[in-house]
Structure 1
Amino acid sequence: MVGIGMPGHFLIRPEFEDVGIYVDAFNQGEILFSEDCTMRLSQIYQQSVEMKPEFLATVTPHQFLGRMLMNLKVIYFNEGKIEPALGVIERILLLFPDSVNEKRDRGILYYHLERWREARQDLENYLEIQSTAQDAAIIRQILDQMSQNM
């Protein structure tokens, strides 16, 4: 079996190519065909979704682990669990060391933990690389606020 990184939902597929059968391991091993996958996407996003071939592409174990960690990070963020979220981000950065968005998120968590030096380093690094990002003004405000707290 190989992992399939369908948006919003992981699937697995038997190792032989072009069989057109997918298994939803999170839904009691339900067997799906590509039309079922389209319907599943429409259910997940609550609107009609046009299936694209890349939606059913295989993912490497590296990508699979990264996506699972991202899901875990979102869960911790939503529950306000800063320390566990920080630990997950550290693990994501082991897989993807150049991810500026993860460094930004880590900087924001450091800020909440009042770890000013580390927060400043990550957030300034983010702005160096993403100076025109949509959230650049917010990141600058956080840096200004940190300067007042230091």
Structure 2
Amino acid sequence: MTRVLDYFSTLVAEDESLPLTEAVLALAQDAYPDLDMQGTLAELDALVLRLQQHLPDDASIEHKVLQLNDFFFRELGFSSNTNDYYDPDNSHLNMVLKRRRGIPVSLGVLYLEMAGQIGIPVRGVSFPGHFLLRVMTPAGNVMLDPTTGHSLSEGEMIEMLEPYVATAGESVGRALRLLLQPATRREIVARMLRNLKATYLQTERWQRLLAVQQRLVILLSDNIEEVRDRGFAYARLNYLRLALEDLEHYLGDRPDADDAAAVETQLHELRQRAQQNNHD
């Protein structure tokens, strides 16, 4: 596990050089420790070579997008795994590539990789509830749904956004403009990890949750809440000393946090358990 985390740490060390596809693929090493990273990336490159055979050298951005959409969604058959949306494999890029099924953000990462290799200027957008793609064309920006390739109108996006904002009307349109800013590669990796985190919390798979939390602490080194959540994961697995360290660190940094009393209660219980273990 240490080797795998050291590799991930190296990948995400610098924002400017963070290799998005490789970093996202590396998340699957927790579930697939024998994963052939370079072989999987080579498989993706081979798909791009197939796509490039359909493209003339002077293809416009719009033509490239049409060809990529046809290749990605029709020929390769990538789509949303609507039958089992919360399957962790929807976030494991090796399995998304194999099964051609995923969730918006994992499909989006594959689309971004292919688009980038053929010269399409496209960025990911961390839209609430549904990751989007923003293609920059000479005629203006086009927002794509990475599960279908469908070009989204402003009205469709406002409708998608309404469950996430308190009031409808003009404020939704204003919120929409703010939410269509491109996401950084670090933010995209974090979104992938938080999807896995939610799945493992829901299914109470604590060892897998801990692996995700360790990566979140590495990726978001300034986010003390992820250290707290790693402490909770340690506590679930009875790693008492490590749980105490993380939760004490959290309270030391955020003594006035809204959940300070709850964390202090957890710490008290952990200290009692540790003391009991020492007496046994």
Compute the TM-score of the two structures, normalised by the length of structure 2. Answer: 0.50
Q: Please, which moves more after superposition, 16-25 or 92-101? A: 16-25
- How many Å apart are 1:44 and its aligned residue? 6.2
Matched, 1:37 2:161: no
Q: What amino acid is aligned across from residue 91 of structure 1 in structure 2?
A: R
CA distance in 1, matches of 2:244, 2:227: 11
- How many Å apart are 1:34 and its aligned residue? 2.2
Distance 1:133 1:81, change over 3 A: same
8 Å contact kept, 1:100–1:126: yes
Q: Give a deviation string over 1:20-76, Cα, whole Å, max 9, x none.
A: 4211113x2221022211111125679747132221000111111111111111111
Matched, 1:8 2:8: no
- Aligned pair partner of 1:138 in 259, 262, 265: 262
CA distance in 1, matches of 2:229, 2:271: 19
Q: Give a deviation string over 1:115-135, Cα, whole Å, max 9, x none.
A: 111000000010011111111
The share of aligned pairs that are identical, in percent, is 30
8 Å contact kept, 1:4–1:10: yes
> Secondary structure of 1:12's match?
strand
**Counterpart in the other structure of 2:224:** 100
Q: Please, which moves more after superposition, 139-148 or 31-40? A: 31-40
Written as runs of structure 1 = structure 2, the 5 A alignment for 1:13-28 is 13-16=134-137, 19-26=140-147, 28=148
- Aligned pair partner of 2:239 in 79, 91, 115: 115
Task: Provide the aligned C-alpha RMSD in A.
Answer: 2.0
Q: What amino acid is aligned across from residue 100 of structure 1 in structure 2?
A: I
Matched, 1:55 2:176: no
Distance 1:128 1:46, change over 3 A: closer
- How many Å apart are 1:98 and its aligned residue? 2.1
- How many Å apart are 1:15 and its aligned residue? 2.9
CA distance in 2, matches of 1:36, 1:25: 15
Q: What amino acid is aligned across from residue 13 of structure 1 in structure 2?
A: R
Compute the TM-score of the two structures, normalised by the length of structure 1. Answer: 0.89
Distance 1:147 1:139, change over 3 A: same
Distance 1:62 1:142, change over 3 A: same
8 Å contact kept, 1:21–1:34: no
CA distance in 1, matches of 2:248, 2:163: 40
- Aligned pair partner of 1:77 in 201, 218, 222: 201
8 Å contact kept, 1:12–1:23: yes
> Secondary structure of 2:238's match?
coil
8 Å contact kept, 2:136–2:142: no
Structure with higher helix content: 2
> Secondary structure of 2:222's match?
coil
Structure 1: give runs of 5+ residues left out of the alignment: none
Distance 1:45 1:54, change over 3 A: closer
8 Å contact kept, 1:73–1:89: yes
Q: Please, which moves more after superposition, 28-37 or 55-64? A: 28-37
